[in-house]
Structure 1
Amino acid sequence: MTAVLEGFATIGVLILVGVLLAHLGVIDLPGQRALSLLAFYVASPALLITVLEDADIGAVLSSTLVASAAAVVVTATVYVLVARLVLHRDLAHTVVGSLCSAYVNAGNLGIPIAAYVLGDAALVAPVLLLQLLVLQPLALTVMDVAVAEQRLSVWRILSRPLRTPLTVGSVIGLVLAGTDVELPRAVHDPLELLAAMAVPSMLLAYGVYLRLGPRPGLNDAPELLLITALKLGVQPVVAWAVGRFVLGLDDTALLAVTVISALPTAQNVFVHATRYDRGVVLARDAVFLTTVLSVPVVTLAAALVA
Structure 2
Amino acid sequence: MVTTIEKLAPVALIFGAGVVFARRKIIDSTVSKAFSEFSFRFAIPAYLLGSLYTSDPRRVFDPTAIGAYATAAVAGMVVVAVVARAVTGTSTKGTALRIMSACQVNTAYFAIPVFILLFGDASPIFPVILLQVCVLTVVVITIMESAGGHDVSGVPTAVKVRRGIWAALTTPLVLACYAGITANLTHLPVPGWALDTLSMAGAAASPAALFALGLHLGGTGLRIRGTTSDEYWLIGFKCVLFPLLALAVGRYVFGLTGIRLSQVVMIAAMPAPQNLFIFAQQYDTEVDLAASVVVKTSLTALLLLPIWAVIAR
Same-fold status (TM-score > 0.5):
yes
Measured after TM superposition, the shift of residue 12 of structure 1 is 0.8
Measured against aligned partners, the alpha-carbon deviations of 1:68-91 in whole angstroms (never above 9, x if no partner) come to: 221222223323333455162663
Q: Find 1:107's aligned residue among 112, 120, 124.
A: 112
What's the counterpart of residue 79 of structure 1? 80
For the pair 1:211 / 2:211, whether they are aligned, the reply is no
Q: How does 1:242-261 map to 2 (within 5 A)?
A: 242-249=249-256, 251-252=257-258, 255-256=261-262, 259-261=265-267
**Root-mean-square deviation over aligned CA pairs:** 3.2
What's the counterpart of residue 197 of structure 2? 190
CA distance in 2, matches of 1:195, 1:51: 9
CA distance in 1, matches of 2:206, 2:92: 29
Over 3 Å counting, the alpha-carbon distance change for 1:125 and 1:45 in structure 2 is closer
Query: Secondary structure of 2:54's partner?
Result: coil
Task: Indicate if the aligned counterparts of 1:100 and 1:287 stay in contact, CA closer than 8 A.
Answer: no
CA distance in 2, matches of 1:47, 1:216: 34
Measured after TM superposition, the shift of residue 200 of structure 1 is 1.8
Measured after TM superposition, the shift of residue 275 of structure 1 is 4.7
What's the counterpart of residue 284 of structure 2? none
Over 3 Å counting, the alpha-carbon distance change for 1:180 and 1:244 in structure 2 is same
My pick for the range that moved more, 141-150 or 62-71, is 141-150
CA distance in 1, matches of 2:226, 2:189: 48
Identical-residue share of aligned pairs (%): 22
Task: Indicate if the aligned counterparts of 1:102 and 1:235 stay in contact, CA closer than 8 A.
Answer: no
What's the counterpart of residue 32 of structure 1? 32
Measured against aligned partners, the alpha-carbon deviations of 1:127-168 in whole angstroms (never above 9, x if no partner) come to: x13321121344555459656443461543443344211111
What's the counterpart of residue 177 of structure 1? 184
Task: Indicate if the aligned counterparts of 1:95 and 1:143 stay in contact, CA closer than 8 A.
Answer: no
Q: How does 1:1-306 map to 2 (within 5 A)?
A: 1-59=1-59, 60-85=61-86, 86=88, 88=90, 91=93, 94-95=96-97, 98-103=100-105, 105-114=110-119, 125-126=123-124, 128-138=125-135, 140-141=137-138, 142-143=140-141, 148-150=150-152, 151=155, 153=159, 155-218=162-225, 220-249=227-256, 251-252=257-258, 255-256=261-262, 259-261=265-267, 263-265=269-271, 269-270=273-274, 272-273=275-276, 275-276=278-279, 277=281, 278=287, 279-299=290-310, 301-302=311-312, 306=313
Task: Indicate if the aligned counterparts of 2:51 and 2:123 stay in contact, CA closer than 8 A.
Answer: no
Measured after TM superposition, the shift of residue 191 of structure 1 is 2.9
Runs of 4+ that moved beyond 6 A: none
Question: TM-score, with normalisation over the residues of structure 2?
Answer: 0.77
Q: Which amino acid in structure 1 is aligned with residue 270 of structure 2?
A: P
Question: TM-score, with normalisation over the residues of structure 1?
Answer: 0.79
Over 3 Å counting, the alpha-carbon distance change for 1:78 and 1:220 in structure 2 is farther
My pick for the range that moved more, 106-115 or 89-98, is 89-98
Q: Which amino acid in structure 2 is aligned with residue 53 of structure 1?
A: Y
CA distance in 2, matches of 1:206, 1:138: 25
CA distance in 2, matches of 1:158, 1:102: 17
Measured after TM superposition, the shift of residue 111 of structure 1 is 4.0
Q: Which amino acid in structure 2 is aligned with residue 11 of structure 1?
A: V
CA distance in 1, matches of 2:89, 2:295: 19
CA distance in 2, matches of 1:14, 1:6: 14
Measured after TM superposition, the shift of residue 261 of structure 1 is 4.7
Task: Indicate if the aligned counterparts of 2:266 and 2:305 stay in contact, CA closer than 8 A.
Answer: no
What's the counterpart of residue 118 of structure 1? none
My pick for the range that moved more, 25-34 or 7-16, is 25-34
My pick for the range that moved more, 192-201 or 146-155, is 146-155
Measured after TM superposition, the shift of residue 208 of structure 1 is 1.5
Q: Which amino acid in structure 2 is aligned with residue 256 of structure 1?
A: S
Over 3 Å counting, the alpha-carbon distance change for 1:50 and 1:25 in structure 2 is same
